[in-house]
Amino acid sequence: MKSRVYVPPMAGVTDLVFRDIVRSIDPNCMMSTEMVSSRALLARPESRIMDLGPNEHPIGIQIFGHEPDVMVHAAQLAEAKGADFVDINMGCPVPKITKGKDGCALMREPELAREIISAVKAAIKIPVTVKFRLGWDDSTRNAVQFGEMAEGAGASMVTVHGRTRQQLYSGEADWHFIAKVKAALSIPVFGNGDVFSPENAATLLEITDCDGVAVARGSLGNPWLIPRITKYLDTGVLEDAPDDIERMRCAYLHCLGLLRYKGPRVGINESRRHLTQYTKGIPGAAPFRNRLTQIASADDAAQILAELALVAAGEEGRKRFLLTVEQNNFKYSEHPGEGHSERESGIQAPVYVGAVAPVAVP
């Protein structure tokens, strides 16, 4: 794994469509799927959440759970799916997850965590990585010992989010504490938390001496951040962010990708969230964001974004945006139960969502 920039798991975000978009802009970055419940896989081993696109490498599949045998089963399925590595979630702070012994709760159960990592490591040939936080709360910041345990149990790399479970997302990520973990381990350590610009990434690496940086929220509606970070780290050159129309074009293509892959109901629901992310920072976008949270179709999205393009970049901007709409004409079944989606015939393939072929939705 050569990439120093990693888009780590984000539930509800790093699905096939999002990853395809990021990958089309930065083919080399390391990515991971959303977290996958090892328990749920027992009942539904065919779950599409682990589906990987063609040429989607390097890619990890993240699994969560606390029963070693169940985690082994999930890891074996992930390996069979073609993942380059299996990431074990030991950092999720959400009560629904931690109230069992899953996610960050495992930082309070290091012996069980060790058992899980060792069992998974022994059961698959691909590398096992672990993602965790600084600890459960400020009085129990055990990330250094936890990292040492993970390395000893066979982890090939760890990602450390510089917050405790108790902090959730409040306060600032403590990059100095991540530095302690890095200093204690021999395996690669990726630092994570609050990287929203190429300069942030460089500072995190400077402070922590980490081998790479994991960028989650910063990539929402802003997939260009990933190659901009890579370029800045490699050459010191700070590339311009794309202009507003390019962001709107990508937003629309993201929406189409979700509709194709997930069908009209789920696709539109999920698009609402993503579309608003893409318009952050565009002057005058606030009232449009509100409307984007209420779209009922791809046509609605196109209409609202075209109006925003006019405000942001005048008639020329609107025309540029509408060209994307024209070139990616889209229709889907009016019978959501059938979930059939298709592109109009003879239309040019989308720029960013090329790898996401139209599929029947179960």
Could you say which of 29, 35, 117, 130 contacts ligand FMN (CB under 6 A)? 35
- The mark string for 202-231 relative to ligand FMN (x by CB under 6 A, - otherwise) is -------------xxxx-------------
# residues near ligand FMN by CB under 6 A: 22
Binding to ligand FMN, residues 116-145 (CB under 6 A): 131
Q: Is 37 in the site for ligand FMN (CB under 6 A)?
A: no
Nearest in space to 48 (alpha carbons), one of 354, 339, 349: 339
Q: Which stretch binds ligand FMN (CB under 6 A): 190-198, 232-240, 276-284, 294-302?
A: 190-198
Angle between helices 143-153 and 110-123 in degrees, nearest 10: 30
Contact track, ligand FMN, 12-31, x by CB under 6 A = xx------------------
- Kindly state whether residue 11 participates in binding ligand FMN, applying the rule CB under 6 A: yes
Site for ligand FMN in 158-187 (CB under 6 A): 161
Residue 192 as a binder of ligand FMN (CB under 6 A): the answer is yes
Asked whether position 10 contacts ligand FMN by CB under 6 A, the answer is yes
The one among 65, 193, 198, 212 contacting ligand FMN by CB under 6 A: 193
The piece of 9-17, 257-265, 271-279, 287-295 that touches ligand FMN (CB under 6 A) is 9-17
Active-site residue, 104 included: no
- Determine if 336 is a binding residue for ligand FMN (CB under 6 A): no
89 binds ligand FMN (CB under 6 A): yes
Instruction: Tell me the catalytic residues.
Output: 92
